[in-house]
Structure 1
Amino acid sequence: MVLSTGTNKTKTAVFISGAGSNLKSLIKFSKLKKSPISVNLIITNNKLAKGLKYGSIFQIKKKIINFKNKEIAEKKILNELKKNKIELICLAGFMKILSKNFIMNFKGKILNIHPSLLPKYKGLNTHQRAIDNKDKYSGCTVHFVNSKLDSGKIILQKRVNINKNDSSDSLAKRILAQEHKLYPKAILKIFSP
């Protein structure tokens, strides 16, 4: 699955709702010569998202979209994507579920990173659920987005051991460190011929 590469990098939008640590790692990755993407747009549903600061730091256009009315919100986002010639969306801790309609109307690819080894633990509270089930390991998954929650084709996964004394916070921290490495690897994988 090759998106247009060449000397021009693929224009990418990153959708966030919180701290934006995956956004930061994607921006750093996009600056590398080998990276096939450039981060051109940051979209959030949360005007207090800490990750918005990376838009200012790296001079990337930011859009805050109010999701009170999902249909209007998604129309606004699609317009922004078109205006900015975005071909790839990376969801990075974006806490809204995109509609089937949105996914069909966006003509590029949509990727998501999820903090579990899908198909296990779709949705929220993944770390606590893995600990409660006494799993030996958890991890993270980068996958294509389709209209079912956390169900698109898996691109890459990374396993992380669960320690006896792990809390959901300590496990989340270790998994997040792996997410920062996995997302760029998954992007390289889908762009490689």
Structure 2
Amino acid sequence: MVKLTGYKKIKAAVFISGNGSNLKSLIKFSKKKKSPISIDLIISNNPKAKGLKLGKINKIKRKVYNFKKKYKIENQILSDLKEHKVKMICLAGFMEILSRNFINKFKGKILNIHPSLLPKYKGLNTHQRALDNNEKYSGCTVHFVNSKLDSGKIILQKKIKITKNDTKNSLARKVLIQEHKLYPRSILKIFNL
């Protein structure tokens, strides 16, 4: 658990690869008085990630890294996180798998949001897999990150009903709406707020 000292907000970094809709929700949340975090850094592996524009609009530092030389890059990121005094990482649609070494340096302080009810449907194509298996429910999970893919301790989940008319796109939209609510709630939970 992350301990919140006094009323000072903990500096957080958000890692993204795409549109940044969860980033947008986290930025909005971070500006609320009751939020225990401030977002001080946005990291992406994709220079074309639309979410980077949100950083510019909100005057948050942005850094883009090429993950081809993963271990070298991760050490650079760790150095940048230290420089910005970042104490917590929120993965929000970040399409890279972080190494065990990186995770161990930030143990218990990396969160991820995943579009399924873990432990079901780890990895990619979660909505199509849920539909293919005729699931009655899907949803999203916020969990701590460990060295196994989508396997860390679950913080919160939100279940939604799958209707017979759902497609992978309609299900993705329904789940995303819940993701935007669940991520802030999960952060409040780990700070016992």
Normalised by the length of structure 1, the TM-score is 0.98
Q: What is the identity percentage for the equivalent residue pairs of Structure 1 and Structure 2?
A: 72
Could you tell me whether the CA contact under 8 Å between 1:87 and 1:108 is conserved in 2? no
Structure 2: tracts of 5 or more residues without a match: none
Q: Which amino acid aligns with 1:113?
A: I
In angstroms, what is the RMSD of aligned CA positions? 1.0
Partner residue, 1:84: 84
Question: Does 1:141 find its partner at 2:141?
Answer: yes
Partner residue, 1:64: 64
Normalised by the length of structure 2, the TM-score is 0.98
2-structure distance, mates of 1:62, 1:93: 16
Q: Which amino acid aligns with 1:159?
A: K
2-structure distance, mates of 1:176, 1:117: 13
Deviations 1:21-42 (A, max 9, x none): 0000000000000000000000
Partner residue, 1:114: 114
Q: Displaced runs of 4+ in structure 1, greater than 6 A? A: none
Q: How many residues align?
A: 193
Structure 1: tracts of 5 or more residues without a match: none
2-structure distance, mates of 1:120, 1:137: 11
2-structure distance, mates of 1:108, 1:159: 24
What's the offset of the Cα at 1:107?
A: 5.6
CA 1:108–1:80 in structure 2 vs 1: closer, same or farther (change >3 Å)?
farther
2-structure distance, mates of 1:70, 1:103: 13
Matches within 5 A, 1:1-193: 1-106=1-106, 109-192=109-192
2-structure distance, mates of 1:93, 1:69: 21
Q: Which amino acid aligns with 1:127?
A: H
What's the offset of the Cα at 1:165?
A: 1.2
Could you tell me whether the CA contact under 8 Å between 1:2 and 1:192 is conserved in 2? no
Could you tell me whether the CA contact under 8 Å between 1:16 and 1:45 is conserved in 2? yes
Could you tell me whether the CA contact under 8 Å between 1:13 and 1:88 is conserved in 2? yes
What's the offset of the Cα at 1:71?
A: 0.7
1-structure distance, mates of 2:136, 2:72: 43
